[in-house]
Structure 1
Amino acid sequence: MSSMGNITLVNGPVVKAENMESFKMREMVLVGEKKLIGEIISIDSGNATIQVYEETAGLKAGEAVYPTGKPLSVKLGPGIIGNIFDGIERPLLDIYDKGTSYIPEGLGLSSISLDKIWKVKMAVAAGDKLKPGAIFGEVQESTTVTHKLMVPPNMEGTAAFVEKDGEYNLEHVLLVLDDGANKHEVKMYQEWPVREPRPVFKRNPIEKLLVTGQRVIDTFFPLAKGGTAAIPGGFGTGKTITQHQLAKWSDADIIVYIGCGERGNEMTEVLEDFPKLSDPRSGEPLMNRTVLIANTSNMPVAAREASIYTGITIAEYYRDMGYNIAIMADSTSRWAEALREISGRLEEMPAEEGYPAYLPSRLAQFYERAGDVKALSGQEGSITIIGAVSPAGGDFSEPVTQNTKRVVGTFLALDKALAYSRHYPAINWINSYTGYIADLRDWYRDNVSDEMLELRAKMLGLLREEHKLMEIVKLVGEDILPDDQRLILEISKVIKTGYLQQNAYHKEDANVSLKKQYDMLKVIDRLYEKALAAVKAGIPISKVKDEKLFYDIVSMKYNTPEGDEKVFDNYMKQIDSYFNPLISQYDKGGKKHENEIS
């Protein structure tokens, strides 16, 4: 334990102190008489700069700075799932239950309850040799999550003592490891520095789809398990609701939702809605596999900067148990603004738009902690990071969006015009992209169909062609186009309205299986091919576009229950029964047969 330092300057969340020679870089400290939580971010001789994670109003020069001897860390153990924390893992529900609507100053780094009793089932015996990360027991943390108790990554040895199965609190010693030099007590929880990635045995190649149930994502811009995605969009374009849909319907085992600097009313909606949502996979409350981290825009700015590291550390802990984790960070722009504010108070040289020069590297460090891995425990798990970006005025050329775009694998660009026309998800199919198609090709072949990605490419080609044609239509009108190009415009409307647009509140449309997505694509493709054959036969576009038929195809997303493949066969027959007789009435020159004319 080091000696105390003394405060010399207070500038918002930034505090400077002297007599800090024995303190370490990144050490967590307690600042002032209230013992506010802080972290050392620079040391120059005996002078240190500290960022404080609590409100610093009332701090005075000369007050003491107390050491802790360890970096900013979080407690990892049973009690995390279903809980709601602030940016440094303090439990908000517990604080509220104690009779305060605000987080009191100097509360300390409280986290999961150390007194709560859990039923433990041990999985090792005395004399067993345990390596770092080895699973030595289990706790049923929620109805859907089995918490696997692991040896800390920095510890190994022979089990000199193993507690019997029973009910214990988190402070109870369950295991004693003898490494030959020392004996180490292992409890139900462990601590880990939030800024240090947890070690893994190896990183696996990206090759599995994160199934979201959202057609525009699963089919057109897929996201891989262990991959990264950004959802940029201006105000009102649906970033939060898109992340809610992904949290509810994706096939991740555990969701970590980080409300990073968002408005209080948005986080209130999350905190009120998530506990009420039903998990579509188990029928249990969605909170039984969710962790919420709430750090709103009116909370201390330094804690906002730490919140994404708290979230990713919790995710890594459950990943090491063999779970697939999806992190929703809403939004990384507010996190970057926290960096900018602290950087300004540190008087660092600003880069583009006032952001610090290290913004790109910090973003990359965060997204790099995603991945599909084989953990030290031998289990295979993944972390998928989905970060919302809130560019001012919807300007995607600003620094946070551009630097995020460089490091993520999927870019889901939200469009204000689509959102205002009530087209949700408002993902622009021209500006969005994914880098995972080659990685997922075998997965689609094995789990859906060889044809899935071919149909995807074909439909995207039609949409891009329609985008070009619309520039001409805006200038000279649609009538100038030949019928085959006018057909592209009509089929693109079917794709956009009948496939890409999805109703989050409709029973059949909120979540769509990949098989149904594939069948819908085949129906739309059949419509296009038959209509194109009719156009080539000389049939006028007014005759080719049958209003009832096109309307039925657009509406099939509402009228086809999951698993009912006969419905799609009926759509195919409906298309054939309309176009086949129509085409047979026309010769190659586009004229009706003589008997039809007479």
Structure 2
Amino acid sequence: MGKIIRVSGPVVVAEDIENQKMFDVVRVGELNLVGEIIKLNGNRATIQVYEDTSGIKPGEKVETTGKPLSVELGPGLLKSIYDGIQRPLDIIRESSGDFIRRGYTANPIDLKAKWEFKPLVKKGDDIKPGQILGTVQETSLIEHKIMAPRDIEGQISEILEGSMTVTDVYAHVKTKNGDKKLTMRQEWPVRTIRGVKSKLPPSIPLVTGQRVIDTFFPVAKGGTVAVPGPFGSGKTVVQHQLSKWADSDIVVYVGCGERGNEMTEILTTFPELQDPKSGKPLMERTILIANTSNMPVAAREASIYTGISIAEYYRDMGYGIALMADSTSRWAEALREISGRLEEMPGEEGYPAYLGRRLSEFYERSGNAIISGNPDRNGSITIVGAVSPPGGDISEPVSQNTLRVTRVFWALDASLASRRHFPSINWLNSYSLYESELLPWFSENISKDWPTIYSKMMNILQKESELQEVVQLVGYDALPDREKSVLDVAKIIREDYLQQSAFDDVDQFCSLNKQIVMMKLIMHYSNEIEKTIDQGFSMSQIENIPSKEKISRIKEVRDPDLEKYFNETVTSIDSDLKRIRGEK
């Protein structure tokens, strides 16, 4: 048993801890606070404590658990709300009130709950690490695959079926090292990556139902996204929409150091949201990890690893996971504070010199992969990391290091958010490096015209940006009619295509089929007015045609009625322009 010799905020220095090892979890002081050894120097250990160290004084005891910081895995994770070190907040609230008592712990998974286990292997079968041995219906939406632990290989000598808890033995396995008993409850060190058989190239998009994302800045399944933006620019709005609508099986939402009111909104709204695909509660496929800015700093640093470890576990079952990290800036601030307490040499703006490496290690745990073990299966983790740069200045270290390792950049614009243009993603500053790899998928599965129309629409938006500078100098009336038509079409793209209402029952989700129909309609209008202008007619004669209103209303049309509405609107546009041209 060691003893404390110094306390500095969340960092405690102790000496003479028996059997101490790096990254071991320890119990600190008379209150048994949870901590982790992050530095060893002879018989002295530096510990980051995941709870408030107020009142802890030199001379108090420190004991090691002999285990690294780990997550408990098994049926019962879904629908849970955890803090950064996987303490179940809903269960703690029931037993100790609104505030977590220091040193208090509770089992992350309900040890008394009964699950109906259905085996997929039988006595005498040989099994390998990661093999799916049976299933449990965890929620009405998700079937939990019970996998063989990563260190188990041998022959099944006995396997049970029926109702059991996560601590009950469901199988006996003969291995080289003797007989092993298997339970549905497993542990995994959070800082250790769960390996896969092989990673696949990014070739399938994560469909989000948000037009500005799917059309212009798509992300692949297993991809990485950075969403930087100043306060009030709509980061949380984007992540809420992705949690609800993205084409993923399971959502892991990590609220890392956000203000209490934002996290409270998530904790109160998510349990009430419906999963649009099934009509069931969205929480049946969601895990929330809440670590607000008034919670201990060290636990904020751990919350990211807790979230990604749980995501990897479900990915190994063959599911597609969307992990929302909100926000990695607060996580980096926790790293900065702990680094300062350790008196390490600071890097840029006081952040530790290893900030870039830590961010890379986190984002590299994403990917679309073939999973080890039978049967063959694919799983993916897509990471969407929000960044909160002070004042929206993305030249600061967290934003820059994030942009180096992520392949999609959704630049949130506070001026768009203030005009109530959501999603407030700036179409001129954002980019997606998956674009060239995903365009063949859109061509084959949605429309062969997708790449052409996408390029034309993006060119119009870029041309509009250039023309706006000219307009400010000489005025709109001085522009030639061809340039006026570009501004007219660009306005339709901005207001009727890119802008999307999260509160409209129809418009909050836009299928890829509807997106290509809307794009074709806008481009048909663009082509026809160009043809009319080329015949000598002015934009003042064209810009107020009645059929323009029909273009703006297509976002309110449901998918089954799209083809009919499209044909009617095309006919109306043609009729209006023919009348202007004097054609029959």
TM range (shorter): over 0.9
Unaligned runs of 5+ in 1: 586-595
Residue 40 (structure 2) pairs with residue 43 (structure 1)? yes
- Provide Cα deviations, 1:193-241, integer angstroms capped at 9, x if missing partner: 0011111111111111111010000111101100011111111111101
**Aligned match of 1:465:** 463
Corresponding residue of 1:241:
237
C-alpha distance in 1 between matches for 2:221 and 2:261: 31
* 1:167 pairs with 2:187: no
Query: Is contact 2:545–2:576 with CA below 8 Å preserved after alignment?
Result: no
Matching of residues 367-516 of structure 1 within 5 Å: 367-377=363-373, 378-516=376-514
Correspondence 1:339 to 2:335? yes
> Are the equivalent residues in 2 in contact too, given 1:37–1:109 (CA < 8 A)?
no
Aligned to 2:122: 125
Contact 2:548 2:573 in 1 (8 A): no
1:561–1:374 distance in 2 versus 1, CA, 3 Å: closer
- 1:271 matched to which residue of 2? 267
Secondary structure class of the residue paired with 2:372: coil
Secondary structure of 1:258's counterpart equals strand
The answer to whether the 8 A contact 1:508-1:562 is kept is: no
User: In 1, distance between residues paired with 2:155 and 2:558?
Assistant: 58
Over residues 173-204 of structure 1, what are the superposed CA-to-partner deviations in whole Å (9 max), with x where a residue is unaligned? 11122222222221011100001111111111
The Cα shift of 1:355 comes to 1.0
1:430 maps to amino acid: L
1:508–1:561 Cα contact (<8 Å) kept: no
2:217 to 217, 221, 231: 221
CA-atom RMSD, angstroms? Answer: 1.4
Match for 1:542: what amino acid?
A: S
Q: CA deviation at 1:556?
A: 1.8
Pick aligned residue for 1:75 from 52, 72, 75: 72
Q: Following the alignment from structure 2 to structure 1, what is the Cα–Cα distance between the partners of residues 25 and 561?
A: 55
CA contact (8 A) 1:516 1:563 kept: no
Question: Which residue does the alignment assign to 1:257?
Answer: 253
Aligned match of 2:93: 96
The alignment of Structure 1 onto Structure 2 pairs a total of residues equal to 582
Separation (CA, whole Å) in 1 of partners of 2:62 and 2:560: 62
Q: Does residue 63 of the first structure (1) align with residue 51 of the second (2)? A: no
Residue in 1 that maps onto 2:287 = 291
Output aligned runs, 1:511-526, within 5 Å: 511-526=509-524
Q: C-alpha displacement at 1:476, in angstroms?
A: 2.1
Structure 2: which amino acid aligns with 1:288? Answer: E
Secondary structure, in 3 states, of the residue corresponding to 1:154? coil
Match in the other structure for 2:203: 207
> What TM-score, normalized to structure 2?
0.98
In structure 2, distance between residues paired with 1:169 and 1:211: 37
- Once the two structures are overlaid, the 10-residue window that deviates more, 152-161 or 543-552, is 543-552
Aligned residue identity for 1:452: W
Tell me how far apart the structure 2 counterparts of residues 207 and 70 of structure 1 sit (CA, whole Å): 39
The offset of 1:472, in angstroms, is 1.4
Q: Look up the equivalent residue of 1:28 and give its one-letter code.
A: V
Partner-residue secondary structure (3-state), 1:98: helix
1:589 equivalent in structure 2: none
Identity of aligned residues (%): 52
**Paired residues of 1:135 and 1:151 also in contact (CA < 8 A):** yes
Deviation, 1:451, is 1.0
Q: 1:403 to 1:95 in 2, by over 3 A?
A: same
Write the distance in 2 (CA, Å) between the matches of 1:72 and 1:486. Answer: 62
Change (3 A) 1:560 1:175: closer
Q: Quote the Cα distance in structure 2 between the aligned partners of 1:202 and 1:173.
A: 31
Q: Which amino acid aligns with 1:150?
A: M
Q: What whole-Å deviation, never above 9, does each CA across 1:133-170 have from its counterpart, x for those lacking one?
A: 0111111000000001001112211112212x111111
Mapped to 2, the partners of 1:43 and 1:108 lie a distance apart of 26
Write the mapping of 1:569-588 to structure 2, written as runs, cut at 5 A: 569-584=567-582
Quote the offset at 1:109 in angstroms: 6.4
What is residue 158 of structure 1 aligned with on the other side? Answer: 155
Match of 2:318 in 1: 322
Deviates more, 1:510-519 or 1:24-33: 24-33
Q: Which runs of 4+ in 1 moved over 4 A?
A: 560-563
Q: Deviations over 1:480-504 (max 9, x none)?
A: 2211111111111000000000001
Deviations 1:382-439 (A, max 9, x none): 0000111111111111111111111111110000111111111110000000011122
CA deviations on 1:218-277 (whole Å, 9 max, x unpaired) are 111101100011111111111101100010011100000111101111111101111111
**Which string of whole-angstrom CA distances, capped at 9 and with x for unpartnered residues, describes residues 14-42 of structure 1?**
11111147311111111112111111111
SS in 1 for 2:71: strand
Q: Are the aligned partners of 1:10 and 1:60 in contact in 2 as well (CA < 8 Å)? A: yes
The more displaced of 220-229 and 343-352 is 343-352
Q: Which residue of 2 aligns with 1:110?
A: 107
Task: State the alpha-carbon separation in 2 of the partners of residues 547 and 49 from structure 1.
Answer: 73
- Cα distance in structure 2, aligned partners of 1:409 and 1:60: 47
Match of 2:9 in 1: 12
| Alpha-carbon distance in structure 2 between the residues aligned to 1:509 and 1:199 | 40
Residues 463 and 148 of structure 1: is their aligned pair in 2 closer, same or farther, counting only changes over 3 Å? same
Separation in structure 1 between the aligned mates of residue 154 and residue 360 of structure 2, nearest angstrom:
35
Letter in 2 for 1:382: S
1:25 equivalent among 16, 22, 25: 22
Q: Which runs of 5+ in 2 are unaligned?
A: none
Indicate how the Cα distance of structure 1 residues 44 and 562 shifts in structure 2: closer, same or farther if over 3 A, else same.
farther
- The answer to whether the 8 Å contact 1:235/1:393 transfers is yes
Secondary structure of the equivalent of 1:414?
A: coil
**Higher alpha-carbon deviation: 35-44 or 555-564:** 555-564
Q: Is the 8 A contact 1:130 1:157 kept in 2?
A: yes
From the superposition, tell whether residues 45 and 562 of structure 1 become closer, same or farther in structure 2 (CA, over 3 Å): farther
Distance of aligned partners of 1:220 and 1:209 in 2 relative to their CA distance in 1, 3 Å threshold: same
Shift of 1:317: 0.3
| TM-score, structure 1 normalization | 0.95
Distance 2:329 2:106 in 1: 26
**How far did residue 561 of structure 1 move?**
4.5
Aligned residue identity for 1:473: V
Contact between 1:259 and 1:329, CA under 8 Å: does it hold in 2? yes
Q: Which amino acid aligns with 2:103?
A: G
- Where do residues 183-198 of structure 1 align in structure 2 (5 Å cutoff)? 183-198=179-194
Deviation at 1:580, TM superposition (A): 2.9
